[in-house]
Each structure stands twice: as structure tokens, then as C-alpha cells.
Chains A and B, each alone.
Chain A
Amino acid sequence: MDGMYIIITAALVAISCGLLGCFLILRKMAMVGDAISHAVLPGIVIAFFVSGNRETVPMLIGAGSLGVLATFLIEYFHRKGKLQTDASIGVTFTWLFALGVILISAFADKVDIDQDCVLYGEIGLIELDNWILNSGFIMGPRVFYVMLFITLLVVGFILMGYKGLYFTTFDPVYAATIGISTALWHYLLMGMVSLTTVASFEAVGAILVVAMIVVPPATAYLISEKLKPMLILTCVFGVIIALGGYYLAVWIDGSIAGAMATVAGLLFAIVFFTHRIQQLNRSKIKAQQLSEI
């Protein structure tokens, strides 16, 4: 099938970002995902300088540590400086991202990455970068395997840590009274967000990463009464966005990442308005029943 790897990779990005995004939006920290996805840029560049290549592991380490540093700084400015969380997020990620941009532009001749690729990504090109075994056998796009690994990691993390994440998200103070470390779960989650963001970055770019972290969970939140259905719906929406976005891009012959973010927005709008109409109808029926009595 044409573009199969692209669709599957995008779906993996959507699932791993969306699952973590569910917990972020419930913690009212959706924009931390935004912050991390930008703040990791200097980490990527530094990892490139240190390792001298674009191997996945140093990239993940470099960017992952910058992501955790960013969340630490956000917490630090908020707690010690009494700065509002959103202001703290804004200060932290803009300068870290700017630092990354400066690093790239100053050493542009030595660095095989540019701002455009980082911001918009180019998922359409992943099939050019294959994982080739020593025997010469072509396994398929490298990014696909990276995302497969990350998705398994995220799914494992959510399954294993479900109670801890759920508990510390819903009522951190009560969790602390029975001896559960809220800080530990906070940084575990942020560490996972950093890793996932960085891995997804390469595939789809920063803007689509932010869209995937926030939009599918927000859409699922509208119509979920429990956390588990919300997580599952997020994955379903992620797959729809990947499929729909790819074919939209083919149809209009445009950017795949852009098309996917557009489909995500459309999906949200459809769910939002259908849900609103249902709610209105329901209250109308109720009012009718009441008047009949």
C-alpha cells in the first residue's frame, strides 16, 4: 500500500503523544507539552555536536535531558519565583527554543538540520531513511522503528503506572498523605513526554507534535466519562487523524503534517458540535417531559 509506513508512523506518533497528552490536559498542563516540544531543540543540536551524527540514541538522550530540564525550570520559577505557571512556561521554552535556533543558524554549515525541518517536519520523506541490516536487508524506515519502540514504551508506562498517574493527577495532596511521591510521577511523566516529543519531532515536526499531544485527548475528553475510555478514544482519534491527514494531503497535494493537524482540528470541531447538539436536544426533551407532567 502506498504510504503505509507514513500512515502507521503518524498513527504511532498520535497514539504515544495522545496517551501522555491525556494526563497532561487533566493536570491542566497541556502547554507543558508545547514547551517541551520546543525546549528540546538545543538538546538535539548539542547531541549532534557531541556525537557527530544523527543516531537516534544520542538525540533521545540530549533532547530528553533538555525536556526534563525545561519542566524542572518551569516548576522552579513557579514555586520559588511565585510566577504563574503559564508565564513560567512561556519564559522557559521561548529562550530554550531560541537558543536552539541560534545554535543551528550559527553552525548551519556543520549541522544537517534546519529550522524548517524541526518546526514542520517532513513525514513524507521518512521512507528515504531506511534501517538497513549489516547483511544489506532493508527493514524499512528508521523513524518507523523508533516510533514503534517509543509507542511500546509509552503504552507499557501507562499500563504499569496507570494507578500512580491517575491518582497523582486527580488528587495529588491525598496521594501524598498515603505516601505516594507526586514529584516522582510528575518527573516520570515529563521524562516520557520529552522522549516521545523528541522521537516524534523527527517524524512530524514540532507543530504536529503539539497538535497530537493536545487535540486528540481534548476531543476524547469532551465525550468520555471515565479515564480508560478517554485513553482508548484518544488512540482511535489518533489513527483517524493519521489516515485522514494522509489522504487529505495526497488529495490536495500538500504538506502531510499540515493536513494531519487540520484533520485533528476538524475532528475536534465535529465532535464538539455533535456533542453540543446532543446536549441541547437532551435538555429540550427533559424540559418537554417536565412540562407534560
Chain B
Amino acid sequence: MIEQTENIAVEIHDLSVSYDRKPVLWGIDLTIPEGALVGIVGPNGAGKSTLIKSIMGLIPLNSGYARIFGKDLSEIRERLSYVPQRESVDWDFPTSVKEVVLMGRYKKIGLFKRPRKADLDATMSALESVGMQDFASRQISQLSGGQQQRVFLARALAQQADLYFMDEPFAGVDAATEKAIFNILLEMSQQGKTVVVVHHDLQSVKKYFDWLILLNLRLVASGKTENIFKKELLEEAYGGKLTLLTEVGDLIKKEEFPGREE
């Protein structure tokens, strides 16, 4: 089931990607509405990270295209931001929290100019909104996993973009950080920003996202969460994985008797 939308933030048409001639994404066709909080869900190796990377032009496409706000990627790069997986960088790198967040301003500053006051202000206010202002001059190696994730989020916030892609921002963070991050995402989407999140945990899908993309090499379903988070569709996405299937069954049960939860 593929639901289309009117005011489009991202439009993907016939997108296919392969590594070493092995297809990782196959004929993806979908639209993402502006201002939505979008979850991309699917089993391991389903191509979730690959999908957001290919939208951002980080991976060569075999076919198809992605258009953002109706324009080609090269025209709107400034309006797009990315929160990579936490493990993708070396956290022992000799640099401070503030310097990492300031990177979010580099596109605006330019590589050969000094940051202005506006850039430093944006950096500090991004740190404040993730509650990390007191850590500004810390070396990044002294941070916990949750704090590292907050720093990455702050860097994306400092960019003041309109469309955000986040690769598993909830992976390996403590409950308090997860809640804090979710509140920030919610606030962003209320401000009309579009936030696309690669997500792992089926338990929280319904609570977190208003738009859902189910992926398993090909597009299983895409649309409003209430229409997509259904047993048949989840089984189709996670098909063949028995343990997961029972998990899905449990989830659906919980959903049918919501009174027992919380």
C-alpha cells in the first residue's frame, strides 16, 4: 500500500541502488509530506540507511531520481541536514563539542571565512535546545553515547534546515535521552520541518511517527502510520523472520487492548 501526498517534501521515483551488482533497493516510488515526522522501518539489511543516503546523493543510483521540495538536490542542499549514525565518526578525535556543532554552519560560513556572531549564536542555541550548553568546550571523547547523539542532533539543528534525515538517532541511548530527542523531533515537526528517521524499534513506532515507510529491499508500504502499522504489512516487511513475527503479533495484540499498556 502506497499512499501519496499533496504538499510534497521528498518525491522518489523508480529509485534503485545496488552494491556490486547486488540490488539493495529496488524500484522505490514514494512521496513524503512536508512537516511530517517520518519513520523508516524494516529488518536488518532492508536498505533503510541506503535509502536516505541515496536521497542525499551520497550513493550513486542505478535508476530513478529523488526530488526535494520539487527541486534537484544540488539546488536545495542548504535546506537539507543529516544526522549520521553515531558510530560513523571517531569520537576520540581531538575536537570540542562546540567545534563539532559549528560544522553545521560551514555551508553558511563558507570554508574560507571566519564564523560570524550569528553562527556562534546558532551553535549555542542548538546546544541549548539539546541541553548540552554546559558541555560546549568539552572534548568529544569525554561524552557518553547519549550525549554524543545529542551533539550530532545539535549540529543538524545549527544548520537550520527544512528537511532532516537521521540514521538511528535512538540507537544505544538511555531512556532519558530517547525522550529528550523525541521531544526535539516533535517540536521540529510542529515548526513545519520534515524529519525522516531510520528506526529500529517497532515498539515505539506508533507513538513517534505520523508517517511510516516500510522497507525490505523494495517498498512494502508508505503512508500515514495508522494506515501502515498493520499486521499484514509488517509481516510482509519482516516476512520469514519467525522471532520477529511473534514480536509483531504481540505488538498488534497490545494495540488492540491499549488499556493494558502504560
Contact = CB atoms under 8 A, between A and B. Distances in A.
Interface of A: 26, 28, 160-161, 163-164, 166-167, 169-171, 173-174, 176-180, 221, 224-227, 229-230
Given A225-B94, A225-B96, A174 B103 contact: yes
Interface in B77-101: 77-78, 80-82, 84, 88-90, 93-96, 99-100
Given A224-B94, A225-B139, A170 B100 contact: yes
A178 B88 contact: no
Interface stretch (B104-112, B122-130, B229-237): B104-112
Contacts of B96: 225-226
B56 interface: yes
Given A167-B106, A226-B96, A226-B99, A173 B80 contact: no
B58 A173 contact: yes
Contact of A171 (B81, B103, B111): B103
A226 B139 contact: yes
> Closest 4 A-B residue pairs measured CB to CB?
A225-B139, A178-B107, A177-B82, A164-B111
Contacts of B159: 178
A229 B96 CA distance: 12
A160 B114 CA distance: 11
A226 B107 CA distance: 22
Interface residues of B, number: 27
A177 B94 contact: no
A275 to B, nearest CB: 14
B58 A177 contact: yes
B94 A227 contact: yes
A13 B18 CA distance: 46
Contacts of B139: 225-226
Interface of B: 56-58, 74, 77-78, 80-82, 84, 88-90, 93-96, 99-100, 103, 106-107, 111-112, 139, 155, 159
Contacts of A26: 90, 93-94
A71 B93 CA distance: 23
Contacts of B74: 179
Nearest to A176: B58
Given A160-B112, A163-B111, A173-B58, A227 B106 contact: no
B94 A226 contact: yes
Contacts, number: 68
A187 B120 CA distance: 31
9 contacts: A163-B106, A170-B89, A171-B103, A173-B84, A176-B58, A177-B58, A179-B77, A225-B94, A227-B95
Contact of B95 (A28, A170, A221): A170
B100 A180 contact: no
Contacts of B82: 173-174, 177
A226 B95 contact: yes
A123 to B, nearest CB: 31
Contacts of A225: 94, 96, 139
Given A177-B80, A225-B96, 4 more contacts: A171-B103, A177-B57, A226-B94, A227-B99
Nearest to B83: A174
Given A160-B112, A177-B56, A179-B107, A171 B84 contact: yes
A177 B81 contact: yes
Contacts of A229: 94
B111 A170 contact: no
B58 to A, nearest CB: 6
Contacts of A163: 106, 111-112
Contact of B89 (A171, A176, A178, A224): A171
A28 to B, nearest CB: 8
Contacts of A226: 94-96, 99, 139
A186 to B, nearest CB: 15
A180 B89 contact: no
A55 to B, nearest CB: 33
A220 to B, nearest CB: 9
Nearest to B139: A225
Nearest to A221: B94
B103 A167 contact: yes
Contact of B94 (A160, A167, A173, A230): A230
A179 B111 CA distance: 11
B88 A171 contact: yes
A178 B95 contact: no
Nearest to A185: B111
Contacts of A167: 103, 106, 111
